[in-house]
Amino acid sequence: MDFTFSLGLAISGYIVADYFLHVSGVVTTLFTAMLIITKHKEISRGIRERFHEYWDYLGFITNSILFFLIGIPLLTVESYESISIPLIHILVAPFAIIMLSRAVVVYGGSTFLRIFRVKIPLQWQNILTLGGLRGGMSVALALSLAAEYEFKDLFISLIIPLIAINLVVNPILLNQYLKKSKMTTS
């Protein structure tokens, strides 16, 4: 499969889903990627490796741009020191919500995939839940909020510490799980 075609398919799938069908463009892009992977297993190993390198590099560039873009609104975000809720609660609550959401998506999605005779082992589901997503997804979602949304500044100001917590806590939890389940971390 051509690299350009896969990029065009991802972008057009997102646009059609989000703007015309009013469903999640991100989820549509994810399912498009899964479809490409499952339908094109016959691709030679060399081409497959170049394909993965291409998408890894594209992901790196996209994440770099997103983190640059999140820095711009952070310059104008007002301080939330006047809020009576302790900062630790403001940081821990979203992290707990994210972990719960991941669990619902991973375990619920695995249950849904069984309809199509795709079984994901429980250990893999646990790893997916603890491994999490890159911070770029959170940044993209916060930046996509409407400018007039009254809590947009709050979301933007919470993204960076939330990603930092995610980058510190999740690897520790994942490492502990891998040791407990006798899986290697290599």
Predicted confidence (pLDDT) per residue in 48-63, tens digit: 777 778 878 887 887 7
Which sequence spans correspond to the domains of the chain?
80-180
Per residue in 95-141, pLDDT tens?
888 889 889 999 999 999 999 888 999 999 998 888 865 677 777 77
Show the tokens assigned to 162: 């939330």
CA distance 143 to 91: 19
Angstrom distances, CA of residue 16 to CA of 39, 61, 103, 110, 133: 21, 23, 28, 26, 24
CB 141 within 8 A of CB 24: no
Q: What is the pLDDT of residue 185?
A: 54
Which of 36, 37, 67 has its CA nearest to residue 134?
Answer: 67
C-alpha–C-alpha distance, residues 163 and 150, integer Å? 22
pTM over cut 0.85:
no
Query: Residues near 8 by Cβ (< 8 Å), separated by ≥ 6?
Result: none
* H/E segment holding residue 94: helix 87-113
More confident residue, 186 or 148: 148
pLDDT value for 2 = 66
Instruction: Assess contact for 77 and 160: CB atoms under 8 A.
Output: no
pLDDT recorded at residue 103: 92
Average pLDDT over residues 16-39: 83
Report the interhelical angle of 152-180 vs 87-113 (nearest 10°).
60
| % residues pLDDT > 70 (the chain) | 83
Report whether 45 contacts 57 (CB < 8 A): no
